[in-house]
Amino acid sequence: MSSVFPEPSWQLSSSMANSAITSNSSLTGVSSGRGAPDIAADATNMLIYITTSSGSGFQTVSGTSVASPLMAGMIATIDNYMGSEEGFINSLIYKLGQAQVNGSYTSAPPFYFIYNGSNSKFSSANGYSLVVGWGTINAYNFVNSQLGVITYTITFRETGLAFSTLWSVTLNGNTESSTSSLITFTIPKGTYSFTIGSVTGYTVSPSSGSLTVNGSNVNEAITFTPVSVKTYSVTFTETGLPSGILWSVKLNGLTETSTNGTIIFNETNGTYSYVI
């Protein structure tokens, strides 16, 4: 337990890790601080095959000399499999470890919990302990568990719509609507189909498609284009009035006036009422 570095947020957010840290203050002398270790790895009686300029052969290694490169190689393999770098992995380890304790996902466990054994002060536990952290990582399950825990955003950005016009996107069966220019979904890795809802008076491109999320956020541009509506002239021609006399026509709620013999409206196809 560190008396210098405070307990980081990702340990505080794990109820089991935080409990192990704070409940052992009588043994550690620290009421709250950075707890260690985070995980465990094989570190004794490991046989490795070494090739040097003077020859090759097996050698027994122990301690961090083998545990550290073992973990580095495992994370590098996970990076390659997922097509993205894990980056700062501590917060992920604690999120997945707590999820495994809670049973909050159905994937195979990402950790081999080590619940046998102890050192001079602490005992291991079925979960997090101050002996072995969360235990050892099962690399394959660790990858699969992330697919349901780590999420990314797909953001659809529209251009062309009139201000405050309602539009919508359906992604993988879920529909979101907005009167702003952005619609955002939060999802794990995968390939998703989408459709853009129709808006009266506009065409849209693309109207549908598919997107793949693979370790980073995705942005998709959507363009709405006003539909050109054909109109026709509706002409009223009067006879019989003296020159310069004002007259009017009300067509479909709109009134036009004139002092000559013609009043013209421009209308789309349809049936309209009028009043002189």
What tens digit of pLDDT does each residue of 67-121 get? 998 999 999 998 888 777 788 899 999 999 998 999 876 678 999 999 899 988 8
Confirm if 192 and 211 have CB atoms less than 8 A apart.
yes
Output the pLDDT for position 87: 84
pLDDT one-digit tens code per residue, 35-75: 989 999 988 888 889 899 999 999 888 998 889 989 999 99
Domains, in order of start, for the chain = 9-146 (3.40.50.200), 152-226 (2.60.40.10), 232-275 (no CATH)
220 versus 121: the higher-pLDDT residue is 220
Under a CB-based contact definition with an 8 Å cutoff, are residues 32 and 2 in contact? Answer: no
Q: What angle do CA 24, 28, 33 make, to 5 degrees?
A: 85
Number of helices (H) and strands (E) in the chain: give both, helices first.
6, 17
Alpha helices in the chain (DSSP H): 9-12, 15-22, 25-28, 64-82, 90-102, 139-146
- 144 vs 76 pLDDT, higher one: 76
Q: Which two tokens stand for residue 49?
A: 């095959």
Q: What is the 3-state secondary structure (H, E, C) of 88-99?
A: CCHHHHHHHHHH
